[in-house]
Structure 1
Amino acid sequence: MTSKVICIVLGGGQGSRLSPLTATRSKPAVPIAGKYRLVDIPISNCLNSGIHRIYVLTQFNSASLNKHIKNTYHFSSFSEAFVDILAAEQTPSSVAWFQGTADAVRQSLHHLAVHDFEYVLILSGDQLYQMDFEAMIAEHIEKNAEISIATIPVHANDVPGFGILKTDENSMVSAFVEKPKTNFESWASEVSPQMAAEGRVYLASMGIYLFNRKLLYDLLQGNERTDFGKEIIPQSITEHRVLSYQYEGYWTDIGTIPSFFDANLGLTDDIPQFNLFDKHPIYTRARMLPPSKMSGTHVDKVIIADGCIINASHITRSVIGVRTRLGFETVIENCYVMGSDNYQTLEQIQESHLSQTPLMGVGDRCHIKNAIIDKNTYIGDDVQINCGEKLENGDYGPYVVQDGIVIVKKRAVIPNGTVI
């Protein structure tokens, strides 16, 4: 069944709402949970579901993503499995960049033509969830659907942020409305007793679509429609059999800095909603790193990745990424420290000591709270971040403040004694 499916992961646009994390990388390449990239989530869901032919579409800052895909997803020479990047390209028939989700798939259809497949699974590259696509494909075939949309029941308070679907008794979509603000009570659909008890009776589109091959080609060729959510899906409901596949697990759209921050810190909960320790693994680049070591550190609700050297006094509800160095007597609270791409050599460390410039990582006697520390940053000794009054939103050069969260930019240098 999954052998007849080919998957397309949409890399997204400029990712401006995740800036400055997307200043030098595309959204799917943003590090998550200390050791993964966002793109690893949809790819792992596919591989765990038996889908082994995957294209990742991207056009902005794709170098980091290309490198990650190349170094991570290797398959047997005797297998048809692949994970390939398709970047926006100029061709004799098209000189424009991707204009939307549907346009991105349209411009990539000629790459799919060489494969044998019956269904196309279209995923977003910036969502956090664990889902069995095999069950969705089985229901799509069983109910003779032409398009299936993964939906999640949401509460009335969440309705204005989603495209909402109305279904009949057979889970077929009968109507669609984009982000209704008022008077949406009549849009409630039939959901499971558990979801109904929680007041989650509105079906929101998750941006996950399954198309029959022929219909997808028919819908995309020879027209100007550029977006699935705003054009293709709403216009297909009255003409084609569109199935709502209900999903009741954890799912979040990593579209903004607050949602990204909350999703990462949520992984430190005693029983996190997104389970990293599930029987279905999340695949990522295999790094040959030493185990992390700590000295004199009190930790509470902390995830620590490989290769870290930690001498901090306290770390609370934080995610510490690969190769992170934390200095003596430092306190880290409610932070995501992404770590580093490499270690400094002994010569570089000695040179920094002589010049009294910060080492890569976080120095001694620092207190950092409610912050995202991007990769390869140099934070000096006695630095305080976000420990005083609420900061005003804005771009302050080496760091950005958004909704009370300080984001220290990639490769930024924060001198000794700085107070933010």
Structure 2
Amino acid sequence: MTSKVIAVILGGGAGTRLHPLTATRSKPAVPIAGNYRLVDIPISNCLNSGIDRIFVLTQFNSASLNKHIKNTYHFNVFSSAFVDILAAEQTPHNTTWYQGTADAVRQSMRHLEPFEYEYILILSGDQLYQMDFDDMIRNHQDAGADVTVATIPVNAKDATSFGIMKSDENQNITSFIEKPKSELLKDWPSEVGDEMKAQGRVYQASMGIYIFGKKVLTDILNNDPHTDFGKEIIPDAINTYKVISYQYDGYWTDIGTIPSFFEANLGLTDDIPSFNLFDKRSIYSRARMLPPSKISGTTLEKTIIAEGCIINASRIERSVIGIRTRIGRGTTIICSYIMGSDYYQTLEQLEEAKATGTPIMGIGDRCYINNAILDKNCMIGSDVRINGGPHLPNGDYEKYTVQDGIVVIKKMAVIPNGTVI
């Protein structure tokens, strides 16, 4: 079944709600879980489902994403498998960049023409979940559907942030409303399982995951000038095509904001996390051949530590520590995501920094870091105190941003000794 499928992963827009993490990279290239990039999640879901022909559509800040995919996804030379970048391009027939999710696919369809396939699976590049797409595709075929929309039950609070739909007893989607106001929700509950009902999750929200028949998608994109799947194409298709819901009851979150990104990462430290890194289904990423992490004199509590770290901290609690992180003595880190570094400083550089009293790449001695995200390659001096929380007003500063009490230290920022945030 999956041999008849091509997957297209949408790289997303400018990602302004994830600023400053998206200041120099696209959303799918943002590091997650200390060891991966966000784009690794949909790609791994595809590969684990037997789908190995994958295009990633990019437009904004795509250099680091291109580099990651080029260095990561290599297949047997005798295989037809690939993960390829399709960057937005101007042509003699089209001089505009991607104008939306549907327009991105429309402009890229000519690159799919040489391939044989019956179905196209369209995914977002900035979501955290584990799904068997093979089951979704079989359901699509068995139902004789033209379009399948993956949906997930959400509660009333979350429903106002999603496209909400209703379906009949055969899962045919009959109506759709985009981000309804709370007073309209009384007309939009759907039939869900008892467990979902007990949690108040009775509204079917679109996950931004779609299956189209090849001809159906071609007809829609050729005849419908609209540019966005969720807001325009899917609501219009309900009136013309057989559009069905595929209800997913597992863990899924949209990594669209700093708070959602932060909570998704810290949630990985739970005893049994909702998104389980230790599941039998692998999450694939770049093999870096780093040494194992070295830890000395540190009390660790609910902490994930990636490879290649040198840690002498006093205590680390409910935190994710990314690759090549160096942490000095007497430092405490609580409820934080440290992304790590892209390279190691040499011994000569470390000695020079010590002699001049300048911060090294990583975190210095006797620091206190709470409720924070440290982007890649930060240099945090000794005796630095970063204490996030509701007492801090939102703001964007030269070296850091505060959003909903979360302090985000910008990529490559240098924070001098003794700084208090």
| TM-score relative to the length of structure 1 | 0.99
Paired residue type of 1:419: V
Amino acid at match of 1:211: F
Alignment partners' CA distance in 2, 1:24 and 1:51: 30
Q: In the alignment, is the contact (CA less than 8 A) between 2:388 and 2:407 conserved in 1?
A: no
Whole-Å Cα distance in 2 between the matches of residues 156 and 404 of structure 1?
Answer: 25
**Corresponding residue of 1:10:** 10
The residue that corresponds to 1:110 in the other structure is 110
State the identity as a percent.
69
The equivalences for 1:30-41 within 5 A come to: 30-41=30-41
Q: Is 1:129 aligned to residue 129 of structure 2?
A: yes
Task: Quote the residue 2:245 is aligned against.
Answer: 244
Query: Measured at CA, do residues 387 and 7 of structure 1 come closer, stay the same or move farther in structure 2, by a change above 3 Å?
Result: closer
> C-alpha displacement at 1:224, in angstroms?
2.2
Partner of 1:141: 141
C-alpha change, 1:388 and 1:137, in structure 2 (3 Å) is closer
Residue in 2 aligned with 1:336?
Answer: 337
CA distance in 1 between partners of 2:162 and 2:389 (Å): 36
Please tell me the residue identity of whatever aligns with 2:89: E
Map of 2:259 onto structure 1: 258
Question: In 2 relative to 1, CA 31–388 (structure 1 residues): closer, same or farther, beyond 3 Å?
Answer: closer
Aligned letter for 1:403?
Answer: D
1:199 is matched with 200
Contact map agreement 1:367 1:387 (CA 8 A) in 2: no
Residue 45 of structure 1 contacts residue 131 of structure 1 at CA under 8 Å; is this kept in 2? yes
Tell me which residue corresponds to 1:219: 220
How far, CA to CA, are the matches of 1:184 and 1:266 in structure 2? 29
> Whole-Å Cα distance in 1 between the matches of residues 168 and 326 of structure 2?
55
Distance 2:130 2:115 in 1: 27
Contact 2:389 2:405 in 1 (8 A): no
**Secondary structure of the structure 2 residue equivalent to 1:218:** helix
Alignment-derived partner of residue 321 in structure 2? 320
User: Does structure 1 residue 370 correspond to structure 2 residue 371?
Assistant: yes
The answer to whether the Cα contact below 8 Å between 1:253 and 1:259 also exists between their aligned partners in 2 is yes
- Two-structure CA RMSD over aligned residues (Å): 1.0
> Deviations 1:106-130 (Å, cap 9, x if unpaired)?
0000000010000000000000000
Q: What are the within-5 Å matches in structure 2 for residues 20-419 of structure 1?
A: 20-181=20-181, 182-386=183-387, 390-419=391-420
**Whole-Å Cα distance in 2 between the matches of residues 33 and 91 of structure 1?**
38
Amino acid at match of 1:117: Y
Q: Contact 2:372–2:388 at 8 Å: present in 1 too? A: no
In 2, the alpha carbon distance for the partners of 1:297 and 1:244 equals 49
Structure 1 residues 3 and 390: CA distance shift in structure 2, 3 A: same
Deviates more, 1:304-313 or 1:148-157: 148-157
Deviations 1:215-239 (A, max 9, x none): 1011111542100001100000011
Is contact 1:381-1:417 (8 Å) kept? yes
Q: Deviations over 1:120-142 (max 9, x none)?
A: 00000000000000000000000
1:41 is matched by which residue type in structure 2?
I
Counterpart Cα distance in 1 of 2:22 and 2:275: 23
> Quick one: distance in 2 between partners of 1:401 and 1:387?
8
Displacement of 1:185 after TM fit? 1.6
Residue 184 of structure 1, CA deviation: 2.0
Cα deviations by residue, 1:239-265 (Å, 9 ceiling, x for unpaired): 100010000000000000000000000
Gaps of at least 5 residues in structure 1 are none
Stretch moving more, 321-330 or 381-390: 381-390
CA deviations on 1:387-412 (whole Å, 9 max, x unpaired) are 68811111110111111000000000
Point out the more displaced range, 351-360 or 275-284: 351-360
SS of 1:161's partner is coil
Give the deviation of 1:386 after TM superposition.
1.4
Instruction: State the one-letter code of the partner of 1:128.
Output: L
What TM-score do the two structures reach when normalised by structure 2?
0.98
The answer on whether the counterparts of 1:377 and 1:413 sit within 8 Å (CA) in structure 2 is yes
Cα shift at 1:98: 0.4
Amino acid at match of 1:54: I
Which residue type is aligned with residue 235 of structure 1? D
User: What SS is found at the alignment partner of 1:166?
Assistant: strand
What CA distance in whole angstroms lies between the structure 2 residues aligned with 1:186 and 1:387? 40
Kindly indicate whether the alpha-carbon contact (under 8 Å) linking 2:33 and 2:322 is maintained by their aligned counterparts in 1: yes
SS in 2 for 1:149: strand
Distance 1:387 1:158, change over 3 A: closer
* 3-state SS of paired residue (1:78): coil
List structure 1 segments (4+ residues) > 4 angstroms apart after TM superposition: none
What amino acid is the match of 2:411?
Answer: K
What is the rounded CA distance, in whole Å, between the counterparts of 1:183 and 1:41 in structure 2? 34
Matched to 1:252, the amino acid is T
